[in-house]
């Protein structure tokens, strides 16, 4: 997994990320032209994230959120992530509950696994049947299968891990951050000033601009802290008895990183309930670099911690940089909620969440207003 998602492979595929985030901005321009009432952007972000993973794994992409392939994927992932939420695993925490099996949940898990195997199995077969043998992640896994290292089901579930881990995390992060930006126009103004000063209006931001746009970098880090896609990390079990801070942790205990708890800890982050990118202005390193140093100096814990740190961290950071810098370069994001008594749109309520393995804000509406006349020309490559 590390070789297919590592830094080198991500660099080699950077053209693909670049293309998909340009197309996303074009799609948002088109969608915005159709309505003045605003819309919930989740499906656009999810479509982009899916296209990226699907191109990397299977050389396959779709043009629209209405495409049946995208719809089937969205259904499958929605069900799987809903089933995988921590509260559905209550017997992991209270073993006595194993005496009262939850047959409905158990059957739903089996049905969901069967559907996923069928969906991804079909895609793996398309790679096997591809006469041109175009390179992709699945082809690399199939080589490992030929060497006897993986079997058919391993290939399908490795693809499942990449799809599951690499799509909803990105799209939920962008969906949260868009809402936070709509609630905080003063943050957008600062970002716009930085982008106008450093990038100008005749080209879009690129990954290579990262070091020169510290405020955008800080917005991304604050987004992961203040409203990241994961509240409770992936459950892990420990092999042997352990001691931590005077607590005895018996072997086989389930251990979960309470990311939300850390991110809202006042000792670590002053006024943690405030969306304040400035707190990260002094953090020049990438989250990947900081995750490999002393935990006291980490920016945030959105990508997990320790040996099971997100394998896709390099790709995720590139995607967030392209997504956030280009959203802000192209648009002013306006809250399109109904007006409150003060005549201003009611702020989007970020405390209301939809819970799953990834968490989402409740549906909201925003308008993406083009910032200048050059946006569409640059997006279509005419500038
Ligand atoms: C903002 C986006 C992302 C966030 C917040 C995120 C976060 C996480 C977290 C918290 C974990 C669990 C770590 C643990 O088990 O303790 C994880 C695992 C993983 N992530 Fe990400 N991730 C993101 C994007 C991606 C992307 C784009 C990919 C790949 C294309 C990816 C691939 C993976 C994989 C393969 C694992 C499993 C690693 C393992 O089990 O050892 N992630 N991620």
Q: Which atom of ligand 1 is nearest to the CA of 320?
A: 1
Q: Which atom of ligand 1 is nearest to the CA of 305?
A: 16
The pLDDT score that the predictor gives to residue 13 is 84
Task: Record the tokens describing residue 201, joined without a space.
Answer: 């209006």
215-262 pLDDT, tens per residue? 999 999 999 999 999 998 888 889 999 999 999 999 998 888 999 999
Residue 310 marked as a ligand binder: yes
Q: Domains in the chain, please, with CATH?
A: 2-379 (1.10.630.10)
- Mean pLDDT, range 201-209, rounded to an integer: 96
pLDDT beyond 70 at 83: yes
Q: Within 13 Å, how many C-alpha atoms sit on residue 322's CB side?
A: 26
Q: Is any atom of ligand 1 closer than 6 Å to the C-beta of 170?
A: yes
Ligand 1 contact, 358 CB (< 6 A) = no
Q: Which of the four pLDDT bands, split at 50, 70 and 90, describes residue 269?
A: very high
pLDDT at 323 over 90: yes
CA torsion, ordered 270, 195, 181, 15, to nearest 10 deg: -110
pLDDT at res. 96: 73
Q: Are 209 and 158 a contacting pair, CB within 8 Å?
A: no
Name the residue with the closest Cα to ligand 1, atom 31.
Answer: 312
Closest atom of ligand 1 relative to the 301 alpha carbon = 10
Ligand 1 pocket: which of 167, 312, 357 to mutate (most atoms within 8 A of CB): 312
Q: What is the 3-state secondary structure (H, E, C) of 179-229?
A: HHHHHCHHHHHHHHHHHHHHCCCCCCCCHHHHHHCHHHHHHHHHHHHHHCC
Residue 69 CB coordination number (10 Å) = 14
Q: Residue 139 pLDDT more than 90?
A: yes
Judge whether residue 382 has pLDDT over 80.
no
> What is the pLDDT, as a whole number, of residue 66?
86
Is residue 329 within 8 A of residue 29, CB to CB? The reply is: no
pLDDT score of 9 more than 80: no
Give the model's confidence band at 1: pLDDT under 50 very low, under 70 low, under 90 confident, else very high.
Answer: low
Cα-to-chain-centroid distance, residue 366: 19
Task: Give the rounded percent of residues in the chain with a pLDDT score beyond 70.
Answer: 96
pLDDT at 92: 66
Q: Which pLDDT belongs to residue 129?
A: 94
Which residue has the CA at smallest separation from atom 20 of ligand 1? Answer: 310
| Alpha carbons 258 and 213: distance in angstroms, whole number | 30
CA distance 64 to 297: 42
ipTM of the complex, rounded to two decimals: 0.98
Nearest to 316 by CA among 6, 3, 1: 6
Query: Helix-strand-coil percent breakdown of the chain, rounded to 5?
Result: 60, 10, 35
- Residue 55 Cβ contacting ligand 1 at under 6 Å: no
> What is the dihedral sign for C-alpha 126, 128, 134, 138?
positive
User: What's the pLDDT score for residue 213?
Assistant: 98
Q: What is the mean pLDDT of residues 296-321?
A: 94
């Amino acid at each position: 997994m590390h070789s297919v998602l590592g830094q080198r492979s991500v660099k080699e595929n950077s053209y693909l990320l670049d293309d998909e985030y340009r197309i996303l901005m074009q799609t948002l321009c088109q969608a915005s032209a159709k309505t003045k009432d605003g819309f919930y952007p989740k499906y656009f972000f999810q479509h982009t994230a899916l296209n990226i993973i699907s191109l990397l794994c299977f050389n396959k992409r779709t043009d629209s959120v209405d495409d049946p392939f995208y719809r089937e994927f969205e259904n499958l992932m929605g069900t799987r992530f809903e089933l995988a939420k921590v509260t559905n695993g209550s017997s992991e925490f209270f073993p006595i509950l194993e005496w009262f099996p939850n047959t409905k949940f158990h059957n739903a898990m089996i049905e969901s696994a069967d559907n996923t195997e069928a969906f991804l199995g079909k895609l793996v077969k398309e790679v096997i049947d591809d006469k041109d043998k175009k390179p992709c992640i699945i082809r690399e896994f199939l080589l490992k299968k030929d060497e006897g290292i993986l079997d058919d089901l391993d290939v399908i579930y490795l693809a499942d891990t990449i799809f599951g881990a690499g799509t909803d995390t990105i799209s939920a992060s962008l969906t949260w951050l868009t809402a936070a930006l709509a609630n905080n126009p003063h943050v957008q103004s600062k970002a716009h000033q930085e982008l106008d000063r450093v990038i100008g209006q005749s080209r879009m931001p690129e990954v290579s601009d990262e070091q020169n746009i510290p405020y955008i970098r800080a917005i991304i880090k604050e987004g992961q802290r203040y409203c990241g896609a994961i509240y409770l990390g992936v459950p892990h079990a420990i092999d042997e008895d352990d001691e931590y801070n005077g607590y005895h942790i018996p072997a086989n205990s389930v251990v979960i990183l309470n990311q939300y708890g850390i991110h809202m800890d006042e000792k670590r982050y002053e006024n943690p309930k405030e969306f304040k990118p400035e707190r990260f202005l002094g953090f020049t390193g990438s989250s990947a670099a900081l995750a490999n140093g002393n935990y006291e100096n980490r920016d945030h814990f959105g990508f997990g911690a320790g040996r099971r740190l997100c394998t896709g961290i390099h790709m995720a950071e590139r995607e967030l940089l392209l997504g956030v810098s280009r959203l802000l370069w192209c648009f002013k994001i306006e809250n399109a909620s109904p007006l409150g008594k003060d005549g201003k749109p009611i702020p989007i309520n970020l405390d209301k969440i939809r819970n799953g393995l990834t968490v989402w804000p409740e549906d909201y509406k925003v308008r993406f207003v083009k910032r200048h006349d050059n946006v569409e020309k640059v997006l279509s490559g005419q500038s």
